[in-house]
Structure 1
């Protein structure tokens, strides 16, 4: 468990940096490049990302699981590693050839050629291997270092719209080197060996199962932005994106433990220890709710005092949107945990795919119905409903297949404490001005209220874990 906690720390640090860097750089880059320069980068990158998806073919999740299973069964992981690497090399090469053919018919060709580095990076991506052997330190540290170097270069060299090409190059090189540098650490774990093409191709079916939900996810996450841009305008896309961004910070941190536990759970399943898997999930899901529920009510507490100074007065409209999206802080992590800690490790990929496809279909149907009726908010509700159904399908399957049950008393303590925290903090700070200091006061009030109430009510997993560790010593 100590190893898992260490991996959780590294992954949390990486994910938090991954969120914070764009928040810091976006204002700088926007002022330097202007709408045109920034638009060129986002447009060319969006096209490249479709090809990145095809070149990857779901191998990140599939490779993670396969390496974890082989590693825990004491099988030859070198053979599995090189088989998957050969498959990735073939897929990436074919994808790049198609990409170059497609961009020959498009404008901005120089930018598209630079963006090809992000596709080439897929060939060298072996993060799935290190996840499979539960070594998150190396990939996290490399990514952090590359992000920091890229950030410094952007501050130093991106000054005006004439630097657009350099900006595209910096971002593409950052992606490429973050994958390439991980190869320096592979020799310790892997021996070179020749593999047969037929053995590499046997991984296509398994990885394709993970590819289908990625396509569906891309469909129902990008579709909302596309529809808003077409039918309402780019300003609406800005409102939508920023409303999601502020909630995504919490979602990313809360779900970090899932990627850390995926190989650990795969290892337990390989040993036939399903009972221990369910026991771990019981603890992690309730622990997750212990943080996600107050995070949701915390967002409902601070949002209107946060938006004016954080995003600027031109984004005041999102005060109407953030409260609606806040429910996703609870819904999305719950669904992701069940899929990454149970469905994927035990090979229930069809159930995982089913949930994502249902989400995509619901999102499309709701948009068709609601967008003409209530416009912008139709897209918001479509997204929320899609995420709720995705989580419902996964939860239903999990409850049906295991003995796990949510502890009603714990859920009651979490929600009642969070609601009281929200009401008291809102009441005390309602007349304060929207500033950073006000948000600091709100957090300083809310946190001790919530932790105090849950402790007095008899459920504080952090305190309980600390007591258990102390007793063991």
Structure 2
């Protein structure tokens, strides 16, 4: 568990930077490029992501798990590494060639060519290896360095809507560099090994098992941007993307522990320790809900005081969208936890696939039915429904197979505390202007109320951790 704690710290630092940097760059980019520019970037990126998906062919999850299992069984990870790398390289090169041919017929081909760098980045992506051996320090450091460089480049070069191509280049090159730098650390783990073509393609079946759900995931996340871009224009994609992103930033941080625990859970499974997995999940999921529920209510508290100064007046339409997406701050992390802490580590890929395929089908049907009726909001509702059913299917399967039980009393108190926090904070700050100062005041009021209420109701896990630390150190 000491290794898990260290990895969590490294990942937390990286994830915190993933919050801080967007918090600074999103308003700069939004105000410079406007809804059409932000939308066009995300629309073209959504097209590139379909090719990225095929290029990676499920190796991220599959490779993570296979390396974790081999590493804990003291097997030769060098041979496995090179087999997986060349397997992915073959597909990446082929996909990149096809992509460049296909997008040459598109209207915005120049931006799409630059977006193609994201496909090239797949070739150098070996984050799955370091995750598998539970070494998050190196990938976190590389990402941190590149993110800082990307942030500075955006700060200096992005001034107005004419800088869209430069912005696209900065983002895609940042991704390529972050994937490439990690190779500097492989020599401590990997040796040159002779491998055969047959062994390379022996991973096809296993990777496809993880590729199928990735296709489904893309269809209920990325497809929405593509649909909006085609039918409603790039400005609609801009509103949708920024609204979704502002909520998903918090989801990313909440799910940090899941990223760290996947190889650890795979290790426990390799040692036939299912009971330990469930015991650990009983703690992590309730801690997750302790944070995700108030963050959801927090977003419902601050959104109308945040959007005007953060994104600019051009994005005022987001006031109608952000509150709808806020529910995903609770729903999405729970579904991710069930997948990365249980279904994937113990090899239940079929049940994982089932959940995301159902989500993809619901999203596609939702877009087909709701887009003509509700327009923009039809796509939003489709996405929320898809995420809900993905989590529901995983949760239903998980509860059937295990002795896991939710502590309903705790969850009810989390919800009550969050609701009181929202109502009181909004009432106090209702007449304040939309500004950073107001949001800071709202933050401190809300946190104080939530921490106080959950402590009084004796459902605050932080109190337990602090008391345990004090007793251990005899304070």
Tell whether the 8 Å contact from 2:34 to 2:314 is kept in structure 1 after alignment.
Answer: no
- For 1:202 and 1:94, how far apart are their aligned partners in 2? 19
Q: With structure 2 as the length reference, what TM-score do the two structures score?
A: 0.92
Q: What residue number does 1:149 align with?
A: 149
Cα distance, 1:315 vs. partner? 2.6
Distance 2:366 2:43 in 1: 27
**CA distance in structure 2 between the aligned counterparts of 1:168 and 1:444, rounded to whole angstroms:** 36
Q: Which position in structure 1 is the counterpart of 2:81?
A: 81
Map 1:382-393 → 2, pairs under 5 A: 382-393=382-393
Cα gap change, 1:389 to 1:168, in 2 (>3 Å): closer
Separation in structure 1 between the aligned mates of residue 350 and residue 306 of structure 2, nearest angstrom:
41
Q: Structure 1 residue 260 and structure 2 residue 264: aligned?
A: no
Between the aligned partners of 2:107 and 2:308, the Cα distance in structure 1 is: 38
CA contact (8 A) 1:48 1:116 kept: yes
Distance 1:316 1:28 in 2: 16
CA gap 1:44/1:233 in 2 versus in 1, 3 angstroms: closer
**In the alignment, which residue of structure 1 is the partner of 2:400?**
400
- Aligned 8 A contact 2:39 2:239 in 1: no
Q: How far 1:106 moved relative to its partner?
A: 4.7
Instruction: Give 1:469 deviation, angstroms.
Output: 3.1
Query: Could you tell me which residue of structure 1 aligns to residue 8 of structure 2?
Result: 8
Name the CA distance, whole Å, in 1 between partners of 2:34 and 2:377: 29
- Alignment check: 8 A CA contact 1:251 1:333 kept: yes
More displaced 10-residue stretch of structure 1: 300-309 or 332-341 = 300-309
CA distance in 1, matches of 2:265, 2:248: 25
* Structure with bigger RCO (C-alpha 8 Å, 6+ apart): 2
Structure 2 unaligned segments of length 5 or more: list them. Answer: none
The answer for the alignment partner of 1:184 in structure 2 is: 184
Unaligned runs of 5+ in 1: none
> CA 1:192–1:43 in structure 2 vs 1: closer, same or farther (change >3 Å)?
same
CA contact (8 A) 2:36 2:235 kept: no
Q: Please tell me whether the aligned partners of residues 10 and 136 of structure 1 are also in contact (alpha carbons under 8 angstroms).
A: yes
Matching of residue 133 in structure 1 with residue 146 in structure 2: no
User: In the TM superposition, what is the alpha-carbon distance from 1:112 to its structure 2 partner?
Assistant: 4.9
Distance, in Å, in 2 between the alignment partners of 1:234 and 1:96 is: 25
The CA distance in 2 between the partners of 1:472 and 1:460, in whole Å, is: 19
2:203 is matched with: 203
- Tell me what 1:18 maps to: 18
Matches within 5 A, 1:59-458: 59-106=59-106, 112-157=112-157, 167-458=167-458
Question: RMSD across aligned C-alpha pairs, in angstroms?
Answer: 2.4
Q: SS of 1:186's equivalent? A: helix
Using structure 1 for the length normalisation, give the TM-score.
Answer: 0.92
Looking at structure 2, the residues matched to 329 and 35 of structure 1 have their Cα atoms a distance apart, in angstroms, of 24
Distance 2:250 2:57 in 1: 28
Supply the distance in 1 between the matched residues of 2:156 and 2:413 (Cα, whole angstroms): 50
Matched-pair contact (CA < 8 Å) for 2:47–2:226: no
Distance in structure 1 (CA, Å) of the matches to 2:350 and 2:62: 13
Q: Check whether the contact 1:73–1:271 (CA below 8 A) recurs between aligned residues.
A: no
